[in-house]
């Protein structure tokens, strides 16, 4: 293999694949990435056996070929080079890096020993969606997911395709978020309902890598895998087996107390009052009937206490409710509206946070039970 490539193209390609390369004592080659030529393109691939990312970059191909090399060494060299034009050549399973004033030789492993990147078996089941819609939707729900060794079904994002809509949901059992994408926002060949759980790590990489100005991305599904694909990128991942929690049962059909409040003011109040919060992360909200404000209150043993009054429109009976302030803040940050609606049914039942103008998204948070 012999290539001439721009440093900026190479660096961008490496940045897309390097986060999944890690230590593996049983299979050291997973510390490597694969660089090869295919269909007049330069292909960079990395895998951890659960997730694989392939990025195609442009460059001048003088001779075809490929090699796997340690990504940490190669990336360190590329990041520190000052020259934009780089020559790469494979000789005797070594990668030779040359610029006008620099040369290095990295010992590699022949490409045939690199794990095979899996393929989607059914290329008919795909969904085409704008990258901006997909990225914004995933960002709005991902904070509610968590890594769990006990309940692997919580380790991902639930894709619930219902032909006329796509629902994305995530939960850690203490909070839940759901985003609905209507069928006028995507195109698809899928003609039946499809439910699957995509690992959290995969979703994090999709959010990190795809750009909102990349136009469209295709999502392919088969029984065990999912593929995110556009012109220069492929992210393929195993799916999580098992059933996602039946969360519909906890969504409040109605609420006794409703608050309409300025989102930025409430975010500021939560951040400010959290200064006094101890390890329990508790923040108390006091709502009083027939008043025009709510009180956000916190205290820390041996530290002090504070309270913040915020104007609000209140309907329903008075109550005091306690939340984990970080969970509450996550839900507020995921909304884009000027005001938010908070619906409550007492101080021990799920609270729902949503926009007054957008029915496509909601965030549910469990209160901390009062003693």
Burial track 208-240 (b if 16+ CB lie within 10 A, e otherwise)? ebbeeebebbbbbbbeebbbbbbebbbbbbbbb
Q: What is the DSSP letter of 369?
A: P
Asked if 240 and 224 touch (Cβ cutoff 8 Å), the reply is no
Question: Which of the listed CATH numbers 3.30.300.10, 2.40.110.10, 3.10.150.10, 3.10.20.30 matches domain 126-247?
Answer: 3.10.150.10
Domain 251-365 classification at class level: alpha beta
DSSP helix/strand/coil, 270: helix
Selection from 274, 165, 335 nearest residue 365 by Cα: 335
What is the 3-class SS of 14-52, one letter each residue?
HHHHHHHCCCCCCCHHHHEEEEEEECCEEEEEEECCCEE
- Whether 248 has a pLDDT exceeding 60, the answer reads yes
Asked if residue 358 lies in contact with residue 337, where contact means CB atoms within 8 angstroms, the answer is yes
- pLDDT above 70 coverage of the chain, percent: 98
Q: What is the pLDDT of residues 193-217, one digit of tens each?
A: 999 999 999 999 999 999 877 689 9
Contact 250, 261 (CB under 8 A): no
pTM of the model: 0.92
Interhelix angle 263-273/325-333, nearest 10 degrees = 150
Q: What's residue 22's pLDDT?
A: 80
Which sign, positive or negative, has the C-alpha torsion 102, 107, 112, 118? negative
What does the pLDDT look like over 100-125, one tens digit per residue?
999 999 999 999 999 999 999 888 78
Q: Is residue 221 very low, low, confident or very high in pLDDT (cuts 50, 70, 90)?
A: very high
pLDDT digits (tens, 9 = 90+) for 168-200: 999 998 999 999 999 999 999 898 999 999 999
Q: Which residues in the chain are classed under CATH 3.10.150.10?
A: 2-113, 126-247, 251-365
pLDDT (0 to 100) of residue 19: 94
Report the topology of domain 2-113: DNA Polymerase III; Chain A, domain 2 (3.10.150)
Residue 185: per-residue pLDDT: 95
Q: Are 314 and 257 in contact (CB under 8 A)?
A: yes
């Amino acid at each position: 293999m012999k290539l001439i490539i721009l440093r900026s193209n190479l660096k961008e390609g490496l940045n897309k694949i390097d986060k999944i390369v890690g230590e593996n004592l049983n299979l050291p080659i997973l510390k490597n990435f694969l660089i090869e030529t295919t269909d007049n393109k330069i292909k960079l691939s990395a895998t951890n056996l659960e997730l694989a990312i392939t990025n195609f970059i442009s460059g001048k191909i003088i001779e075809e070929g490929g090699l796997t090399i340690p990504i940490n060494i190669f990336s360190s060299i590329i990041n520190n080079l000052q020259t934009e034009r780089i020559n790469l050549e494979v000789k005797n399973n070594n990668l030779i890096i040359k610029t006008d004033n620099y040369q290095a030789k990295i010992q590699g492993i022949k490409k045939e020993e690199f794990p095979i990147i899996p393929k989607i078996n059914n290329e008919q089941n795909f969904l085409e969606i704008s990258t901006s819609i997909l990225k914004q939707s995933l960002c709005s729900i991902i904070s509610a997911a968590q890594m769990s060794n006990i309940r692997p079904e919580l380790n991902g994002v639930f894709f619930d395709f219902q032909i006329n809509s796509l629902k994305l949901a995530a939960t850690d059992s203490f909070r839940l978020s759901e985003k609905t994408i209507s069928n006028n926002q995507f195109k698809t060949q899928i003609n039946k309902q499809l439910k699957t759980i995509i690992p959290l790590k995969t979703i994090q990489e999709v959010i990190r890598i795809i750009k909102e100005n990349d136009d469209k991305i295709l999502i392919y599904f088969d029984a065990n895998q999912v593929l995110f694909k556009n012109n220069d990128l492929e992210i393929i991942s195993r799916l999580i087996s098992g059933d996602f929690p039946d969360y519909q049962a906890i969504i409040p059909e109605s609420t006794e107390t409703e608050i309409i409040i300025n989102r930025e003011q409430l975010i500021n109040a939560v951040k400010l009052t959290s200064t006094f919060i101890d390890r329990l992360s508790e923040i108390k909200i006091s709502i009083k009937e027939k008043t025009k404000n709510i009180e956000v209150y916190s205290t820390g043993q041996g530290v002090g206490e504070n309270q913040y009054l915020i104007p609000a429109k209140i309907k329903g009976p008075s109550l005091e409710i306690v939340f984990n302030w970080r969970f509450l803040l996550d839900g507020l940050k995921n909304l884009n509206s000027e005001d938010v609606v908070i619906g409550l049914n007492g101080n021990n039942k799920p609270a729902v946070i949503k926009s007054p103008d957008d029915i496509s998204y909601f965030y549910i948070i469990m209160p901390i039970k009062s003693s």
